[in-house]
Amino acid sequence: MLGWLRKSLCTDLAIDLGTSSTRVGLPGEGIRLDEPSVVAVGRGSSRVAGRGLAVGRMAAQMLGRTPEGIRAVRPLKHGVISDFELCEVMLRYFLQKATGGRRGLRPRVLIAVPGGISAVERRAVFNSAERAGAGRIWLIDQSRAAGIGAGLPVAEPLASMVCDIGSGSTDISVLSLADVVASESIRTAGDAMDEALSRWLRRRYSLRVGLQTCETLRIGIGSAAPLDDELSQEVSGLDTVSGNPRRALVTSEEVRAALLEPLSEIVDAIRLTIERCQAELISDLADTGIVLTGGGALLRGIDRYLSQQLGIPVRLANAPRHAVTNGAMICLDHLERWQGGLDNGLRAA
Ligand SMILES: Nc1ncnc2c1ncn2[C@@H]1O[C@H](COP(=O)(O)OP(=O)(O)OP(=O)(O)O)[C@@H](O)[C@H]1O
Ligand SMILES: [Mg+2]
């Protein structure tokens, strides 16, 4: 179809289907939606609350107000669909919202998914997107999109490395000549850090603290490297000995100690990815280093920590939470150039 005619009839959408947030971008227009990947359903039923509208931000708001009648469901775990029906509901809602209900042909969508997912899991994304109203569908590896979005010279004959730390998975890739040369995807990211923090608080303070509180604590005072001015924050939880609610003052040094285990798993995964590269590429990486994307990379001092552990330069991308969507938008904008490396559903079948 003529490019201009297609453009006027059909919307292209770049989707970062994340474990904690979904972002939708329209090439040429920017990111149109960034909302929690959450659906609120009635307790004891699978009906979406709020007459089918309790999705994303609206679901999160409703949960705060009427907690007893509804429960929150995240349709993705570790970047992979775990509830097909609700994922489809969520995608349909987000697609409509991002396009403002524009009429025309079914949109063409490019969806970023973790690199390590199986053919069956890929198929689930295709099916959900199709049933949610998408026309043509392509999938792109999350870290490849992140590299493109972070402005790395991924199409050059030079190795560059990107590490996307989300909430459900950390995706690491070495890219060269527009291809993924080596990659690794692990399930250790923001959520695993909160679980480690929760375990630590239980051991150290005999305090049972919810994962949401742990996330607030991690964002509030968490760090991967020593801070100039160390911080502290009070948390409330349930005393596991007395069974009574109790507060404790936690320091940033303590949170850092609790995060050591998940952080070292990320270091190991990066090492493994580097080891898989040829010697020439490894010597490139010593100069080009690693670019960090994803919300988990906003942890204070994580660039310094990784650089110290790995002995190569590490820097944080601009707008790390949006790098994947930005990269997918660039691919859609230059589809003829990138199409060969995208999954169109035929390979995965
Ligand atoms: N300022 C901050 N400091 C530390 N962590 C942060 C900050 N802001 C967000 N995060 C963390 O970023 C994570 C979410 O990042 P992101 O939006 O990239 O994940 P996602 O794309 O939904 O998940 P995934 O890619 O794993 O499927 C959460 O664990 C959140 O706690
Ligand atoms: Mg992500």
CATH code of 195's domain: 3.30.420.40
Give the CA distances from residue 4 to residues 9, 173, 340, in Å, rounded to whole numbers and listed in that order.
9, 35, 22
Do 58 and 92 sit in the same domain of this protein?
Answer: no
Give the mutation target among 167, 212, 293, 324 for probing the ligand 1 site: most ligand atoms within 8 A of CB: 167
Show pLDDT as tens, one digit a residue, over the chain (349 residues): 556 666 666 789 999 999 999 999 999 999 999 999 999 998 877 788 888 889 999 998 877 666 678 888 999 999 899 999 999 999 999 999 998 877 777 899 999 998 888 999 999 999 999 999 999 999 999 989 999 999 999 888 999 999 999 999 999 999 998 889 999 999 999 999 999 999 999 999 999 999 999 999 999 999 999 999 999 999 999 999 999 999 999 999 999 999 999 999 999 999 999 999 999 999 999 999 999 999 999 999 999 999 999 999 999 999 999 999 999 999 999 888 887 778 887 754 3
Do 206 and 259 sit in the same domain of this protein?
Answer: yes
Do 186 and 302 sit in the same domain of this protein?
Answer: yes
Quote the pLDDT of residue 335.
87
Do 159 and 296 sit in the same domain of this protein?
Answer: yes
| Number of domains making up the chain | 3
d(CA 281, CA 202): 44
Q: Which residues pair with 84 in a beta bridge?
A: none
What does the block give as tokens for 121?
């899991």
Give the mutation target among 81, 214, 219 for probing the ligand 1 site: most ligand atoms within 8 A of CB: 219
The CB of 20 under 6 Å from ligand 1? The reply is yes
Do 210 and 231 sit in the same domain of this protein?
Answer: yes
d(CA 133, CA 93): 10
Query: Which H or E run contains 33?
Result: strand 30-36
d(CA 89, CA 284): 44
322, 23 contact by CB (below 8 A): yes
Do 30 and 57 sit in the same domain of this protein?
Answer: no
CA-294 nearest atom, ligand 1? 18
Do 128 and 193 sit in the same domain of this protein?
Answer: no
Do 218 and 284 sit in the same domain of this protein?
Answer: yes
Do 53 and 97 sit in the same domain of this protein?
Answer: no
Do 183 and 326 sit in the same domain of this protein?
Answer: no
d(CA 192, CA 253): 18
d(CA 247, CA 238): 8
42, 73 contact by CB (below 8 A): no
Which residue from 198, 297, 293, 212 is spatially nearest to 255, judged by alpha carbons?
198
Domain carrying residue 46: 38-73
What does the block give as tokens for 337?
């150039």
End-to-end C-alpha distance for the chain, whole angstroms? 26
